Amino acid sequence: MATIRDIARKSGYSVTTVSRVLNHQKYVSPAAKAAIEAVIEQLDYVPNSLARDLSFGQNKNIGVVLPHNDHPYFNQLLNGIMDAAFSSGYHIVLLPSEYNQTIELDYLEQLKRKNFTALIFASHGLALSVLEDYTRYGQIVCCENPGQHHISAVYSHREPAYLAAFNYLKIQQVTQMGLLLSRNSVQSPTWVAVTTAYQQVFSCQPDAKLMIGGMRSFEDGYHAAKHLIAQQPTLNCYFTNGDDIAAGVRQYHLDHQLAPPLLIGQEKQLSSLLLKIPTIDHHFFTLGQKAFAVALSNHHQICRFESEFILC
Amino acid sequence: MATIRDIARKSGYSVTTVSRVLNHQKYVSPAAKAAIEAVIEQLDYVPNSLARDLSFGQNKNIGVVLPHNDHPYFNQLLNGIMDAAFSSGYHIVLLPSEYNQTIELDYLEQLKRKNFTALIFASHGLALSVLEDYTRYGQIVCCENPGQHHISAVYSHREPAYLAAFNYLKIQQVTQMGLLLSRNSVQSPTWVAVTTAYQQVFSCQPDAKLMIGGMRSFEDGYHAAKHLIAQQPTLNCYFTNGDDIAAGVRQYHLDHQLAPPLLIGQEKQLSSLLLKIPTIDHHFFTLGQKAFAVALSNHHQICRFESEFILC
DNA sequence: ATAATTTATGAAACGCGTCCCAGGTCAAGA
DNA sequence: TCTTGACCTGGGACGCGTTTCATAAATTAT
């Protein structure tokens, strides 16, 4: 494997001049350029990225920390990020965390080791204050409201859409509903936003017995409906954290000759289109695009998008 | 940012000894180890990955070349790869290509530049002979039958499942069907496998007028049905390259009061479950896991999986 | 007691580009 | 004629771990 010094020796020019040719810099005579390029061609030389990265002090990798990849939220976000990264010269590195704090912390340590130029945090197992600590080692973009923390952020403003959805249900005379959310933690931003909106519309706390976390898939929705119906046979309305979850609920009702339930989905997936389930679009693709742009910029910025309630 | 030399100076030991401590090597006295670790702690030192990679001659990144990420094929494959890569110490780098040969070639060049340790090719815009040329720069795993080419491969054997699906349709007295495939090229492996199986079952070539390529989504299926029905109003059977595409076809029939069509989907997605569409499972998750394992091993190997026709 | 190992430790080279700075040429402006 | 400045080229330090090789002390084997 030829090195830049081989090219220099064989062409009769110095390493510096070869480097100038490689980087298309000024101050190289046409003769030198031609001679050097000929040798490069002849020796089939390409510069070593590892050496270049060390010299430059950083590589061109942007890490994306996300719990997993089988949820439309992450998928759409990732597609947006990839779209923005395409032909930027930067690479997207997938960093699954399963919400495991130790693993997420390890990714932050890798930022410190210069394994990445920047990190996009779509997961949030860690406290924001921890992320904040690591911003000195590289740009960190989180995908939720950073509050008082000095972290760049790109996130969707969910509350108005949640209010619109609950108001829609209120008009339908709904008195009780299942809440099928994805995160398990009561402190998670989603959980807080949902219960706050619920309280605002219905003037009371949602029934804790009808709230279930950890929902992700069609199957999860199906089982959740089964579980809830067992203890509340008249239940006929569900607010869910994803269209597929809602589809699962509907399927359970269908399979057991129950009246079609009133559903609210999220993510604007195919299933909401197929089954005419009202949904909430959080514009994750656009969010991902923006997240990448912020990751590359090296100043602090916060960008909020508005979620949208869609009554198809 | 402290370097290993800072640690050496401050601890009174040599760079070599510090390196030994960092890499948990033998031949370090307990005293030296303790002293050095104390200084490392004190200066908040972590080794620089870029320097380490240069010294080692390679990094720990595995590139995954795929056309895009919004198709279940790639999604499931990617999830399998990520699953296998998890806690392996290696990182998965997403390399979208849009089937663009120039871009794919660029990724191969990056392998040469040591930007990746290995590449998994889930896209196939390039000829296999080109991939073969680059295997000398690192392991390359392709996700299709490599034929005579000396390239490691992990792929699904689709023919038997296709035969089963066509036989199923034949028993249903089907005489004409739309073929909605995803690749545009007539030479693509999928296209060849489908037409071969068709011919074997029906003893004739599929009607070229009823074949459409470039199918990917629900919307694509919907529009394809519209297009085909316009020129063949009695058409009532479709073999598709994805459950969502089949779902789109079904929706078109529903919307226009046409008899429910006979459908074959692929990928075992949610829509096939919801709409009871017979599907073909190519076990992409397992495939992805294996692809990663092969990417890490540095000897040539070929691994074939059997696709499965599922009549739900 | 002597030879053969094993253990400890460090100087310096290596991997391979990038870049600062110094030195020299040549033409346009004062 | 003298300055000034753009143009061209190269030596060598730098970024930062890893690793080879040499040296010396401490054990173990013979």
Q: Strand C nucleotides below 7 A of a protein CB?
A: 7-20
The mean of the pLDDT values for chain B is: 92
pLDDT value of position A254: 84
Kindly report which amino acid residue has its CA closest to the C1' atom of nucleotide D9. A17
Whether the CB of A112 is less than 7 Å away from nucleic strand C comes out as: no
Tell me if B55 is assigned to some domain.
no
Residue B20: which residues within 8 A CB-CB, separation 6 or more?
B26, B27, B28
**Is A56 domain-assigned?**
no
Return the pLDDT at B185.
Answer: 63
Best interface-test mutation with A: which of B79, B110, B270 has the largest number of A CBs within 10 A? B270
What are A62-114's pLDDT values in tens digits? 999 998 877 778 888 999 999 999 989 999 999 999 889 999 999 999 999 99
Q: Which residue is nearest to nucleotide C20 (CA to C1')?
A: A16
pLDDT at B301: 95
Which pLDDT tens digit goes with each residue over B138-195? Answer: 999 999 999 999 999 999 999 999 999 999 999 999 989 999 998 766 667 788 889 9
Distance (Å) from the C-alpha of residue A37 to the closest C-alpha of chain B? 17
By residue count, chain B amounts to 312
| Amino acid type, A183 | R
Range of the domain at B113: 61-157+284-306
Number of domains in chain A: 3
pTM here?
Answer: 0.88
What value does the mean pLDDT take over residues A151-175?
Answer: 94
A168-217: pLDDT as tens digits: 999 999 989 999 998 766 667 788 889 999 999 999 999 989 999 888 88
Residue A256 lies inside a defined structural domain of this protein: yes
Which residue in B219, B205, B98 sits closest to A83, CA to CA? B98
Q: Which residues of B touch A115 (CB under 8 A)?
A: 49, 91
Judge if B275 and B164 occupy the same domain: yes
pLDDT at residue B10 above 90?
Answer: yes
pLDDT, tens digit (0-9, with 9 covering 90-100), for B237-269: 999 998 889 988 998 898 899 999 999 999 888
Task: Give phi and psi for A34, each to the nearest 5.
Answer: -65, -45
Does A52 reside within a domain? Answer: no
Whether A276 contacts chain B with CB within 8 A: no
Alpha carbon B78 to its chain centroid, in Å, reads 6
Longest dimension (CA), chain B: 87
Q: Is there a single domain that holds both residue A148 and residue A288?
A: yes
The answer to whether the C-beta of A54 is closer than 7 A to strand C is yes
Q: In this predicted structure, what is the pLDDT of residue A186? A: 64
Contact B69 A78 (CB under 8 A): yes
Task: Kindly state whether residues A178 and A267 are assigned to the same domain.
Answer: yes
Whether A238 and A201 map to the same domain: the answer is yes
CATH number of the domain residue A31 falls in: 1.10.260.40
CATH of the domain at A273: 3.40.50.2300
Q: Residue B186: its pLDDT value, please?
A: 64
Identify whether residues A210 and A264 lie together within a single domain: yes
Helix (H, G, I), strand (E, B) or coil at A309: strand
Inter-residue contact B141 to B118 (CB < 8 Å) = yes
Nearest to B247 among A86, A251, A274 (CB): A274
- From the alpha carbon of B55, which nucleotide's C1' atom is closest? C15
What pLDDT band is residue B211 in, cutting at 50, 70 and 90?
very high
